[in-house]
Structure 1
Amino acid sequence: MKMLIIQPKLEKQIAQLEAELQKTPYVDIVLFPEGYLNENIEQACTLAKQYNVFLIGGYRKLNESPKDRAVLINRQGEVILDRVKYSATSFETVGDLKVGHILCDELILQGVKSEETGPDLIVHPIGVGMFSEEQFEEWIAKAKEIAVTHKVMIVGSSHADGSYRDSEISIPIQYALDRDGSEIFISHNDARARILDLKKKCIETISSII
């Protein structure tokens, strides 16, 4: 299976997602950041069905606390996972993979919060970029720890922009780690989209509109 990993800029619509799907209609899964979909769930469902693809990431549900939620939409355009942030880690079947879904700082605050065993993949939608080099290193180190502990591949991606609280720094982050914690790739301050072949464990950096 091929996963398209994107780092879009924050936007009110999801034009960047649609543009990337138009360019890569052969991918099976798209991973996008936490909070990217905003209130565009219905449109995302339409795109998933139109392009016969799984969409994995996060969205914001206003007037709720916490407002961020994990979302997974299947090839039929159906929402099969809709989990509030900081609740137990969810696992769903994506093609022939058992996929766990953690959101942004859940990586640090709770890791994989579940008794589930034997996942094939952990996806990690991140909100804004890292606010320091130290945070970048900390999050990669924690992701490696999770990969080794659970013997699972883990893939994460942030937005291309945005800052954390009062920080003026935003370092886009994107990564894929193998089951032993070894690096398939780590992207630092490079917001291009990438395609990861999950079986061959090889990466292709693609020209992006972002």
Structure 2
Amino acid sequence: MNILIGQPKMEQNLEQLKLEIESNPTVDLILYPEGYCTYTQLDRVSELAIQFKTSIVLGYRDESNKDRVLIVNNKGETLLTRRKTPEDELLLMPSSATDGSEQYGYLLCREIFMGREGLKTHEHLSIIFNPIGVGMFSEEQFTEWSEEARKIAVERKAMIIGTSHADGSYRNCGVSIPIAYCFDENGEEVFLSKNDTRTRVLDTISKEVSILELSF
């Protein structure tokens, strides 16, 4: 499987997603960050998935401006949608979805710190996705986040992939370290990106990563 991992800038439309899917029509799946689009654009997301036969994983904002999960398969069907887990709650909602021979896990942003507990009963996961809203607010958070991802990969014996937006900052604190990462099922680093917002395409079989130079 070829997965495109994007780190788009925050925007009011789907221009970056459209450009990347049109420029890479042979990828099997696209991973974008938390809160990339709003509920008003979900029909267009499904249309793009159908048009390019590409599954799309991201996060979106609902009518109440709350963050929600989204996995759409290459037929435009919604495989998973749910609200973001409120702070200090365990993952009590469904956090996996099956698409053919693949079973995906999904941790939206800070849910990664509940992932080992929340995904404990989810067996046979092939890939776990972690869409993140904005980048890390410190070097310490960057290290903590990536190490937690590694632990989840080892415990669940599944590849885990995460990505944030290229811009924005946590609660407008003014500090943002964009992050994108992948650890394999043994916890080995496939890639770990800090302050490098270039798009990547990952071959999940060979674990080779191509870096794309696209201008937005």
Normalised-by-shorter TM-score class = over 0.9
Residue 84 of structure 1: how far off its partner (Å): 1.1
Using structure 1 for the length normalisation, give the TM-score: 0.95
CA–CA distance in structure 2, aligned partners of residues 206 and 162 of structure 1: 22
> Does the aligned pair in 2 maintain the 1:131–1:171 contact within 8 Å?
yes
Whose helix proportion is higher, 1 or 2?
Answer: 2
- Say whether 1:171 aligns with 2:172: no
Structural RMSD (CA): 1.4
After superposition, residues 1-210 of structure 1 pair within 5 angstroms as 1-39=1-39, 40-63=41-64, 67-86=66-85, 87-111=92-116, 113-114=118-119, 115-210=121-216
Residue 111 of structure 1: how far off its partner (Å): 4.3
> Does the aligned pair in 1 maintain the 2:134–2:178 contact within 8 Å?
yes
> Does the aligned pair in 2 maintain the 1:102–1:112 contact within 8 Å?
no
Task: Name structure 1 gaps, 5 residues minimum.
Answer: none
Which one-letter code corresponds to 2:77 in the other structure? E
Specify whether residues 130 and 168 from structure 1 end up closer, same or farther in structure 2 by C-alpha distance, changes over 3 A only.
same
**1:140-176 CA distances to partner (integer Å, 9 max, x unpaired)?**
0100110111111100000001100142111110001
Instruction: Give the share of equivalent positions with the same residue, in percent.
Output: 42
Residue 76 of structure 1: how far off its partner (Å): 1.2
Aligned residue pairs, count:
208
Instruction: Tell me the secondary structure at the aligned position of residue 46 of structure 1.
Output: helix
Residue 209 of structure 1: how far off its partner (Å): 2.2
**1:41-80 CA distances to partner (integer Å, 9 max, x unpaired)?**
111011111110100011011326xx11110111111212
Residue 20 of structure 1: how far off its partner (Å): 0.4
Residue 88 of structure 1: how far off its partner (Å): 2.6
Task: Name structure 2 gaps, 5 residues minimum.
Answer: 86-91
